[in-house]
Chain A
Amino acid sequence: MHSSTSKRGVLPGFGITMGYSVLYISLVVLIPLSALLLNSTGLTWEKFWDVATDSRVLASYKVSFLTAAAAGLIDTALGLLIAWVLVRYEFPGKGLFDAMIDLPFALPTAVAGVSLTAIYSANGWIGSLFEPLGIRIAFTPIGITLALMFIGIPFVVRTVQPVLQELDAEVEEAASTLGASRFRTFRSVVLPELIPPLMTGFALAFARGIGEYGSVVFISGNMPMKTEIAPLLIMSKLEQFDYAGATAVALMLLIISFVLLLLINSLQRRVRKTAK
């Protein structure tokens, strides 16, 4: 009796659920991705390399990855702050504020892009304040970063918030009764617990930023070699019926992103292990 339950595993129905999981992952992720791979097979290896490492394409990767990383990092800091305020303090309108965090998810990204451009362009509300200082926001990498921050912020808040909520206030109290300063308590007691979710939040915001198209095309100005993002180059190749070229750039983007995400994941695992 005892041995048979352990053989069957803790929860029932592994076979069926595993089947469903594999089916759904195949339908939604694996098959579309392999179609992408198949589309690029119209290219020889050399042609693929030529397309994927063309100087304009390389410049666009640089813009995409740097702005996504910058936006991800800023979001990580801001997201932590927002989550902290939401979890630790009570204030009027908190529920509304909390719900608003998710709005960037619901808004069509193109709408976000158009409104951000309207506000931050030289004659917009905020852009016109910066213009006299010689700072242009719209149509520069700053604008792109801003758009990516907007769409990435919910990822960080929503991954950090629950962890922060679970954190035992008693541990912090214990630290302070043992004589730790507030900063010391935060650094040695709270922060270690938050690093894994912060990294997850960063990875999600970063990944989202790399592939983002709709909100960026309006605010970036799309100048080749300067503010052109990789997804736009993919679109421009598709516009000219160059499927193979488009998938070559897309594939390259995917490979780089995957390697970066893998790196972040393994780093996160290590952090978690040393924390334990």
Chain B
Amino acid sequence: MKKVLKQGLIAGLVLAVSLVAAACGNSGSGAKEVNLLNVSYDPTRELYTEFNKAFAAHWEKEKGEKVSIKQSHGGSGKQGRAVIDGLDADVVTLALGYDIDAIQQAGLIDEGWQQKYEHNSSPYTSTIVFLVRKGNPKGIKDWDDLVKDGIEVITPNPQTSGGARWNYLAAWGYALHQNNNDEAKAQEFVKKLYEHVPVLDSGARGATTTFVERGLGDVLLAWENEAWLSVEELGPDKFDIVYPSESILAEPPVAVVDKNADKKGTREVAEAYLQYLYSEEGQTIAAENYYRPTLDSVKSKYKDAFPEIKLFTIDDEFGGWAEAQQKHFSDGGIFTQIYAPK
């Protein structure tokens, strides 16, 4: 017993030392190597792992310079806060423009960041779809079906989850269009919808777990890419994806963190990095990870993977993130009114 313990301790010690050595070695030897830090949100982990490899190869061919890109993932709002609090990000690729706006307001990003790249600085887009149990036993086809008796809807809390804000706004937009833009009716619809939500998870992954593992609810409101990933990972024999008649165009934006890039002298490569997301290769990687590409050539190639549905944007329908945030999710906003005591 004692011997085992001793050996274990030694093994642990050796491991720790070699890890430290490896970490030091990495930063020491790569004098000519450029380091980029991409601060992103949770579900983009696989996407950027692949994209970073592609970009590093591209950059080395182009400029003969080695670039190593580090990734940081977490909740979108949390990630935004980390950058504001001093996380040395060169670029941010977050779930909502609102989170990047917050970094801009902290003075780290220059104004007008959303116009810097094409398509509102969103190289790939997504939308909100329904994940239902195999065979769609409750016959859910569209948003209206979500508020029928006996339907339980799983969606996270829009006040703690960036992704959940897209879900909420998608439902709101649909209700507006169904009721000739009558706001009171839209509010009634969304209120009714949230009465069908038995559990408000704090994040998107939590909601997926609740739906998939705990077997709670009849339908999960999810990002299109997350829904496809769930189906792919958990087996196509368990879940179906339902596309509603219309939904919101989710535009996860990207931006260079100007202050940090200038300080570290990485502006050129940071800008090229984001620009490369729009290239043929970048767009293909996005499409392969179930994000909707914006480049026409790639778009047409993956036409069958992304069914055409009517999509409305946050700018057209809600006047941008700042306004949507203020009106719906702030203290005393419409979402808090939904839960106000009668």
By a beta-carbon cutoff of 8 Å, the part of chain A in contact with chain B is: 51, 54-56, 59, 114, 117-118, 121-124, 138-139, 217-218, 221-225, 232, 235-242, 245
Contacts and interface: CB of A to CB of B under 8 A. Distances in A.
Given A223-B199, A239-B78, A240-B325, A122 B336 contact: no
A239 to B, nearest CB: 4
Given A121-B214, A123-B214, A54 B331 contact: yes
A147 B341 CA distance: 27
A125 B193 CA distance: 30
B215 A123 contact: yes
B339 A225 contact: yes
A113 B170 CA distance: 31
Contacts of B200: 221-224
Most chain B C-beta atoms within 10 Å of own C-beta, residue among A59, A123, A224, A245: A224
Interface string B66-91: 00000000010110110010000000
A241 B80 contact: yes
A239 B160 contact: yes
Interface of B: 75, 77-78, 80-81, 84, 102, 157, 159-162, 198-202, 206, 209, 213-216, 325, 329-331, 336, 339-341
B331 A221 contact: no
28 contacts: A56-B339, A56-B340, A122-B215, A123-B214, A123-B215, A124-B214, A139-B198, A139-B199, A217-B206, A218-B201, A218-B206, A222-B157, A225-B339, A225-B341, A235-B160, A236-B202, A238-B78, A239-B75, A239-B77, A239-B81, A239-B159, A239-B160, A239-B161, A241-B77, A241-B81, A241-B102, A242-B330, A242-B331
Contacts of B201: 217-218, 222
Contact of A56 (B77, B329, B336): B336
Contacts of B325: 240
Contacts of B161: 239
Contacts of B81: 238-239, 241
Contacts of B199: 139, 221-223
Contacts of A236: 157, 159-160, 202
A240 to B, nearest CB: 6
Contacts of A118: 213-214
Given A139-B199, A232-B202, A239-B160, 9 more contacts: A118-B214, A122-B216, A139-B198, A217-B202, A222-B160, A222-B202, A224-B339, A235-B202, A240-B329
Most chain A C-beta atoms within 10 Å of own C-beta, residue among B81, B102, B162: B81
Contact of B77 (A218, A223, A240): A240
